[in-house]
Amino acid sequence: MNHHLKYSLPFLAALFIPLTNISAQPQLTSIVVFSTDSSGDNVAPDLWDTQPGNNSNQGYFDVWIQSGGIFLNGPLDSQAQPNISLSSGVNSFTLNADPGSDHSQFGISLFFNGAATPSISAFGSMLTAQGPHSFAADSAASTPGLAIGSSVPGAGTLSFISGGELITLTDFFWATPSVYNQDLVGQYSTGANGLPDYVGGMTLSVTPVPEPGMPLLAIGLLAGVIMICRRMRTSENCF
């Protein structure tokens, strides 16, 4: 390899490597679970969220998030808001909440990177036995926002792209207390309170997507290498 090219290639590689890692891990920063009608619109009576202080409003309870048997938010309402980094691959979580009314339909909205509007919204039938279940994207006009009494449209999608990562909700359910017979949380704190919990689950798949500029960048770097080679007035081969 030509002496000049030997030192040029590491320089070009050094320009390329940082740009392949500019995306930050997506952060799950808020969850709202709520009773819905058959169209996914929020209807009374049930609503759980992860917003500290919302328990000042009658009817707002906390939803608690577990992974591998460890709570990721809490144990008190003041620590209810999560900040969960999603890694590439499969991210599965269990949700626990104090029981409410066994409504026929429940929805979930997921908020990422501190946003005040959901990036993923879904709803499905209340699970009354372990086994097969289904859910769909929620595009209803009225789903709960993060502030008390607020309403925002559902995201209408089960996936979105954040920082070069495709995040997809691949599973969601919300089960009546008799299905799992757990008592791990209360209304505003983790820990048993004598009432069996609603237990839910969600799985998020995270896969990288190519940065829009990457193909052009690769072509530009290759062109740079070729240009260097052509300028080498020597009998040595470029490679």
Tell me the domain boundaries of the chain.
3-21+213-231, 28-208
Mean pLDDT of the chain: 85
C-alpha to C-alpha distance for 109 and 43, rounded to whole angstroms: 14
Percent of the residues in the chain that have a pLDDT greater than 70, as a whole number: 77
Q: For residue 233, is pLDDT > 60? A: no
| Angle between the N-to-C axes of helices 3-19 and 214-231, in degrees from 0 to 180, rounded to the nearest 10 | 170
Backbone angles phi, psi at 204, to 5 degrees: -115, 125
| Confidence (pTM) | 0.80
* Tens digits of residue pLDDT in 44-53: 999 999 999 9
Place of tokens 């929805």: 107
Place of tokens 């996936």: 159
- Radius of gyration of the chain from Cα atoms? 24
Q: Give 93's Cβ-side CA count (13 Å radius).
A: 24
Q: For residue 27, is pLDDT > 60? A: yes
Q: E strands, the chain, where? A: 27-36, 42-49, 60-67, 70-71, 84-85, 89-97, 105-112, 120-125, 136-137, 143-144, 151-152, 159-162, 165-175, 198-208
What does the CA dihedral 179, 181, 183, 186 come to, rounded to 10 degrees?
30
